[in-house]
Chain A
């Protein structure tokens, strides 16, 4: 048991370093954890051997897998069901365009330009088809568009985009057998029944210190996840759907969501993202950097081809349209989940995994940098020549002792 505690100390230590880096550099913790995982494996591998980090040990795999499942559930639970019900046609169109353009585009580039085999090419398409609801939401808030009709459609469309990604991931690589039929046949009635049962169950038995709600949700996610894995599908598929169908009930229980986030970010996702980063082979990336460039360009260009015309059609101001399109090209969570699924199911090899994760990270960072540098809607600001009068003062006249309570 001593080595388990030692390994746990090492992993949580890495997670701590990742958090400090993210605070220091003002970057997302997930991104920081992936980078720390990659560097840690490289350094530890060179110093004491690749097995020292224990990335394939059962308990680490379990915590990492649970992290991806609960994170996916929480992502699904952020859906606004009222908006989705009102705008589902437009959102579905937007989401499907946002999914199919990069899915087909990146698959084609992987197959025809990089000469990957069909299965890895399809997986590349899935991994790079994602978008980030969070990034788009942040942009909407920044531009004050989150309350506009088009803003709501885009946000709902992002959920459809990611749903299409997890469905593709869950079904494309699973041979359609009786197991698949059993998985679908069991899951669909459960998804239909849950929105009715869950609020009643919580009302009868919930609200106690024993955290019944968290156990109930984990029970569902593990149960349907096990069924999905048994059918050669992916456990995040039912987790995302459970999140979406419970968005109107559990998603509105703020205290419960906060407790689940504490569990997720405090313990689970560090294992998931650091582990995902640790499988990245830096030598593979260095030996063929153009593969990364080709995949990144494919993702951004195909997303652009799909999404930008829709923003034009909706009469978006060009810079806002470009800004939104660039922001929709990101997708860290589902991109890494898809890539790790491919690696663990031997659909892709470690080099291909490394290129995909690097592209997923690149697609999260590069469009953000371009958008901030060139397409942040500076038109909102007056020209510098209208610069106002500036006064610099030493404000020491009022201190806490003189009535200020700061």
Chain B
């Protein structure tokens, strides 16, 4: 099946950058829509003021990254959407894939931080277990 809508989970890590490049090639080859989704994960427990600050910094950080991704997409002639959500990455990716009607989710094999992965669980494993569509895990 040709994926018409591809969603990429992006956290800025080298793995997610590989995932983006893979998705970009697929989108170019199939003239698919491409959505890059980043999820800001609040530190737990969220603390007044500190959380607001962290979310704003995460948004600024991702917006800066998105500029580069948008430039790459433009170069390839691919329409790129970007979005930043808040919460647990896997849940938000799956939920948004469902709402957006994604045909394919592309994620990196490993995200940022082994400790975070140990505490939160592997995002790619969770996504592959619960996704409403096909999933490509990029190594």
Cα distance A142–B87 when bound, in Å? 5
Cα distance A384–B90 when bound, in Å? 14
Residues from chain B with Cβ under 8 Å of A29 in the complex: 43, 47, 50
Residues from chain B with Cβ under 8 Å of A286 in the complex: none
Cα distance A357–B55 when bound, in Å? 26
Partner among A330, A380, A397 whose Cβ is within 8 Å of the Cβ of B25:
A397
A403 at the A/B interface (Cβ < 8 Å)? yes
A332 at the A/B interface (Cβ < 8 Å)? yes
Q: Could you tell me how many residues of chain A have their Cβ less than 8 Å away from some Cβ of chain B?
A: 56
The answer to whether A387 and B45 have CB atoms under 8 Å apart is no
Cα distance A387–B76 when bound, in Å? 32
Partner among B71, B85, B138 whose Cβ is within 8 Å of the Cβ of A393:
B138
A residues 310-347 with Cβ under 8 Å of B? Answer: 330, 332-333
A287 at the A/B interface (Cβ < 8 Å)? no
Flag B11-27 by CB within 8 Å of A: 1 or 0 each: 00000011111101100
Partner among A30, A78, A134, A406 whose Cβ is within 8 Å of the Cβ of B72:
A406
The answer to whether B48 and A75 have CB atoms under 8 Å apart is yes
Cα distance A75–B44 when bound, in Å? 18
Inter-chain contact count A-B, CB under 8 Å?
A: 175
Residues from chain A with Cβ under 8 Å of B75 in the complex: 403, 405
The answer to whether A71 and B51 have CB atoms under 8 Å apart is no
Q: B interface, how many residues as a size bin? A: 35 or more
Cα distance A138–B138 when bound, in Å? 30
Chain B nearest CB from A163 CB (Å) reads 13
If A384-B129, A388-B135, A404-B72 touch, whether A137 touches B18 (CB-CB below 8 Å) is no
Partner among A141, A398, A399 whose Cβ is within 8 Å of the Cβ of B86:
A141
Partner among B69, B119, B128 whose Cβ is within 8 Å of the Cβ of A387:
B128
A264 at the A/B interface (Cβ < 8 Å)? yes
The answer to whether B45 and A28 have CB atoms under 8 Å apart is yes
The answer to whether A28 and B50 have CB atoms under 8 Å apart is yes
Partner among A382, A392, A398, A404 whose Cβ is within 8 Å of the Cβ of B130:
A382
If A26-B119, A381-B94 touch, whether A142 touches B48 (CB-CB below 8 Å) is no
Cα distance A386–B116 when bound, in Å? 27
A177 at the A/B interface (Cβ < 8 Å)? no
Cα distance A397–B113 when bound, in Å? 25
Residues from chain B with Cβ under 8 Å of A133 in the complex: 48
If A142-B88, A376-B91, A387-B129 touch, whether A25 touches B119 (CB-CB below 8 Å) is yes
A-B interface, 5 closest residue pairs, ranked by CB to CB distance from nearest = A142-B87, A395-B22, A141-B86, A364-B45, A134-B51
Q: Could you list some 29 contacts between A and B, CB below 8 A?
A: A25-B119, A26-B113, A28-B51, A30-B50, A31-B47, A78-B49, A134-B42, A135-B45, A141-B87, A258-B56, A261-B53, A265-B53, A330-B45, A365-B45, A372-B44, A380-B91, A381-B91, A382-B132, A389-B134, A390-B135, A392-B109, A395-B18, A395-B139, A398-B21, A404-B72, A405-B71, A405-B72, A406-B17, A406-B20
Question: Beyond the given A27-B43, A134-B48, A390-B137, could you list 15 further A-B residue pairs with CB under 8 A, ordered by the A residue number?
Answer: A26-B41, A28-B43, A74-B49, A138-B42, A138-B87, A258-B53, A258-B56, A330-B45, A332-B45, A380-B94, A387-B131, A392-B138, A393-B137, A403-B72, A404-B72
**Contact residues of B with A, CB < 8 Å?**
17-22, 24-25, 41-53, 55-56, 68-69, 71-72, 75-76, 85-88, 91-92, 94-95, 98, 109, 113, 115-116, 119-120, 128-139
